[in-house]
Amino acid sequence: MYLESFLLPDAATERALIEARMNYNGGIKFGYIDNQYPCGIFPEKDLREISFGRITIFYGGNGSGKSTLLNLIAEKLELNRIAPYNSSEMIPSFVSKCSYSLGYDDEGFRYRIPNGSRIITSDDIFDYMLTVRTNNNEISENKEAAREGWANLKFGETVKFSGLDDYEALRMQVLARSKSVSRRQFIRRTAGNEVSLNSNGETAIRYFEQKLKDDTLYLLDEPENSMSPKMQLELVSMLESMARYCGCQFVIATHSPFLLALEGAQIYDLDSRPVMRKPWYELENTRIYYDFFKKHSGLFEEQLL
């Protein structure tokens, strides 16, 4: 494993950090602090050290600290990210008191964090969807302009080249008048091709297919957002294959029952006090699903008769 363990500050260290920040803000007598976050989250859960496997999952409800923990690791490891992290005045000093250890390769040498390792958030995926749609709209407008301009370029007056300002117009006309280039080919070459978009879930899957590379560490914050159960199962298959065969390590924050069932995943239940490692089928979220479908199992069994 690239990342072997991660150590959080204990309660005493957190108190010292808060006191130091208060003194910095206003001195011993008038010191204050606007936001103690993330101090106070993990000591009450008795969570100090996390060990990692090929796939490690932080499970918990909203406000459990799973995304916070993922972001702290990303900050400490200085991983690449796109979506900005909602930081606070305590984050830099808190991160400075965190520590981590890396694993060893087959020859006994310590791993380094692989180049290209990054944190991927649900905001990254939504931004990708919006960007693709925006680009498609621009390409559609360019295609319309190319359709309107093709006839003029092909059959209109020849562009007179009098300087570099006329170069692009002349190049377009040469392309339009080429016998080997049809009208459709001209439009595609000048306007570009739109990215095929179907459902949000399919677009999200395409995002992961494009972004995930071999031999890399990835932190994934609720990657199941916008995905149907069918798409989540496709993502599960992708992550399992990349972890098993492609040298990837994943740390995932999720409450999706499909991702929780990832083969070989070790799961930290951040809703429990103290935080414990549990199998996926003992977690509250999956038990709720199980109880619901068990209650209505007769309806499913009738369909099989």
Instruction: Express each pLDDT in 256-288 by its tens digit.
Output: 999 999 999 999 999 999 999 999 999 999 999
Q: DSSP state, 164?
A: G
Q: Supply the pTM of this predicted model.
A: 0.79
CA–CA distance from 19 to each of 16, 23, 26, 167 (Å)?
A: 5, 6, 11, 67
**With 70 as the cut, is the pLDDT of residue 50 above it?**
yes
Band of residue 88 on the pLDDT scale cut at 50, 70, 90: confident
**With 80 as the cut, is the pLDDT of residue 93 above it?**
yes
Stretch(es) of the chain classified as CATH 3.40.50: 3-125+198-295
Segment 66-73 mean pLDDT = 96
Kindly give, in sequence order, each residue whose CB lies less than 8 Å from that of residue 88, ignoring residues fewer than 6 positions away: 34, 35, 37, 38
The pairing of strands 217-221 and 118-121 is: parallel
- For the domain made up of 3-125+198-295, the CATH class stated in words is alpha beta
